[in-house]
Structure 1
Amino acid sequence: MTDHVRDHDAHVLNDHYDALTTGSGESLVARLRAVFHDAGCDLEHLTLDEVAGIDQLHLGGRAASRSLAALGALRSDQRVLDVGCGTGGASRLLADEAGCQVVGVDITAAFVEVAEWLSAATGLAQRTRFLCADAARTPLPDSSFDVIWCQHALMNMPDMAGVLAEWRRLLVPGGQVLLHEVVAGENLEPLALPVPWARTEATSHLKGRESLQASLEAAGFVPVSVRDVTETALTWHQKHVRREAVGEKTARLPGPALIFGDEFVEMGRNLRDNLAAGKVRILDGVWKLA
């Protein structure tokens, strides 16, 4: 993949995930700080519960991250790379609850800025750090991580082979990959769009389960435990329908609508419908570097 293509992909993702900044001229971190301030929060001493609404932008929230961490049996002595870390919620959870040292990487600069602030404000800056980079070419040394962690991010990465090759480079021998991912379902009808990761078909890079597993195995990753958690994800999402329907207008603390705007309600509804129709599935699992 050429640098020109990579730069284009980065631009597309920044436009998608930081669209409100383009429209308003006010940065994401500034908007979040204003809402937290209006909610009566101490901007430099936030709790993990206070930031939960914008902490982990994937189906299942913290419960899904905890389930994946348990599946991978994470230990406090492990070094973790959180790929597609977003605002850093999973990184902080793993640092806080598993005691891991975590580096988060994301191509969206606004997310990295928010992640750095939230980790400092929640007292977790010593165990987490973040960088803005392409997941297929990070400025990190070889064999520097015990675990690659990735939740709902591969569907935004067109260069799957490049990303997996980078994971192989970064992992120690016998290291693990922990994935919680959206994949294409058996229903091949077009997706209802927009969804949280894409507004058009051209920017959605979903792979089917078999294709994803084949790509991982071709890159040298052996499956240890793989689960279809679609029903769990759909149940979790349905419990949040009412909150999404009101657009968080009554919420004091910030939620995803502050990132995605009013369109988030439609995105959430479409994701639910795509799940229910079998157009997408949700997998989580553990793979080991052979």
Structure 2
Amino acid sequence: MGALALWLTDDAPASRVQAQAGQAYAIARSFARNPLAMLGAFIVGLLIVVALFAPWLAPYSPVGQNLEMRLMPPSAEHWLGTDELGRDILSRIIHGARITLLIVVMVALISAPIGLLIGAVAGYFGGWVDRILMAITDVFLSLPKLIMALAFVAALGAGLQNAIIAIAITAWPAYARIARAETLTFRKSEFIAAVELQGASNLRIIGIHVLPLCMSSTIIRVTLDMAGIILTAAGLGFLGLGAQPPLPEWGAMISRGRSFILDQWWVATMPGFAIIIVSLGFCFLGDGLRDVLDPRQRDGR
């Protein structure tokens, strides 16, 4: 193990593989020294595990009703109590983790590449291309995300799939702005000029040289935005525009439990705690990734 550590920390790596492995090792060590980042990674990892193994972890069916057990408080039989239809809240929260993870992953996979490509193209070409693309981006940025998501869901129709599309449509402008700013910092650099002199096409330069350099900032922003995506999805579910019953979506669970908030507080409180904990986990993880991946943050320490 000592030899491996020496190989990873060698100041003069003998190959690209060694250099990349050493950089990853340094990033991992720096990340591990941040307790909040590790806590965020643990929460996000726990969310993934719960979502993957929900059928085996949930003690009851998330949709099974038992009216004789309706609105039961937390007990040894139902750890987080039951809702107005006698459904086990813990089981519904566990299965709801699948919906939450699906939403954040799909929104990231849709919005981040779109914003990354638009920002890189705008920053690379400049001129009228930049002005048109950034004008469109500014239009989207000028409107609140939740209001825009509500408008798109109202146009597309309620449902989980349409909610994902609506949130993705509202999320890409931030990534476009970041990618454009990153591209402008090295657009006139010598290595870009050298690639152009070799006859590389604009598409090749953007795809092979520009986009990879924008990835770290985009990954950081995507991770930090996960909390906002979860809250937006919960807001749509709360209004009945997200996942439809009987799917155990956390926002919809809070909406159904608000009628009992004074007497049967656990119905709405427990899924609310789940949203808060997962959102904090993504925030802590995003802050930790920003500290280890952003060169400006590293230089400032």
TM-score for both structures, normalised by structure 2: 0.21
- Name whichever structure is richer in strand by fraction: 1
TM-score for both structures, normalised by structure 1: 0.22
- Name whichever structure is richer in helix by fraction: 2
